[in-house]
Amino acid sequence: MEATKDRIRNFFINIIYRIKRAFFKNPKTFNPNLTLDVHDVFEDIEKRWDIHREWDYGNDEVVMYPSSHSVIPLGNGNGVKLITALRPKINRHIGKIITYGKGELFSKDIYHSGAMEVIVNISPAPALWHAPLWFITKDVVLPEVDISEVYTENDKNDGRSNTNIHYGKDYAENKKSMGAKTHYLPELFNRDISFAIIWNKKRIKIYYDGYLVRKITNKKILRRIQKGVIPIISTGIAAKYSHSGSEMIVKSFKYWK
C-alpha cells in the first residue's frame, strides 16, 4: 500500500516538476530551512573522506589499489576533481586486462536526519556511470539511497540522471528496488548542478537544482535509515560501452541538521 501511494504521489510530483522546468530553466537555491553544520570544499579531503581511487577488472576478480590520478584536490575553495580513465594492462597470469580509474569519496562521518547537498560539474563522455551523491546505511548497508546516478551510453551528450532506492536483505537474490526514475534536467553537463536530499522519520525528499523530484514515505526504509547514513560521491564507467575518460568536479558538500 505504501509503495503504491509513493508511486502515485511521485507520478504527480514529476509532472509538476516538468511543468516548472519548462518555464524555469535556471536552478533554485536549495534551502532546507535547517541549521548548516558542514560546508566542505575539500581543502583537507581526508579529514572527512576515505579516498577510493582505482580498480582492476580481470578474471572476475576486483582488486583495489591507490592512484593519485583519480582524485585531484583543486585547492582555493574550488573543490575536488574525480576522474575516470581506461588503459590496457598486461598480467602474465591472466593476460590482458583493463584497468579502470575510478574516483570515489567515502564519508568517514555518519549523518542523521537532516539535509545534504552536493554541487557538481560533470563533463560529457560516453559510458558514464557517475553517482554524484548516494548513501548507504550504518551497520546494515541497505537501504541504499541513490540521489543521483548519471548515465550515458555511446552518445556523450545524451545523458540522464536517475534516483533509486535499493533495499532487501542483500545485493544478491534477496535484493529489492523501488525502481529507478529518470528526472529531466535542462542541461546535465558543463554546468553546476545541485543534487540534494532531506530526510527524517516521516519522509525522504530528493531535489535537483532546488526542485523536488521524488518523495519516499515507506516506513520500513525510513525506520532503517534512522541508524545513520554514510554519504558517497563517486565516478564510474558503464563497461559495455566505449569509454575514453571523463571528469566530475565536486565543488562542495553540505549537511544541515
Of 248, 254, 41, 255, the C-alpha closest to 132 is: 248
CATH of 2-256, one of 3.20.20.70, 2.40.37.10, 1.10.240.10, 2.60.120.200: 2.60.120.200
**Domain coordinates in residue numbering, the chain:** 2-256
Residue 32 in this model has a pLDDT that exceeds 80: yes
Mean pLDDT, range 125-139, rounded to an integer: 91
Written as nine digits, the cell of 87 is 588503459
| Structure confidence at residue 87 as a pLDDT band (50, 70, 90) | low
pLDDT tens readout for residues 144-195 = 999 999 999 999 999 999 999 988 777 777 778 888 999 999 999 999 999 9
Predicted local distance difference test score (pLDDT) of residue 147:
97
Predicted local distance difference test score (pLDDT) of residue 217:
92
**Within 13 Å and on the Cβ side, how many CA atoms surround 100?**
20
Residue percentage of the chain with pLDDT more than 90: 54
pLDDT tens readout for residues 217-234 = 988 889 889 889 999 999
pLDDT tens readout for residues 45-78 = 999 999 876 554 443 444 444 445 678 899 999 9
Mean pLDDT comparison of 88-102, 140-154, 188-202, highest-scoring range: 188-202
Query: In 3-state terms, the chain is what percent helix, strand and coil (to 5)?
Result: 15, 50, 35
Predicted local distance difference test score (pLDDT) of residue 59:
39
Residue 95 in this model has a pLDDT that exceeds 70: no
8 Å CB contact between 67 and 103 = no
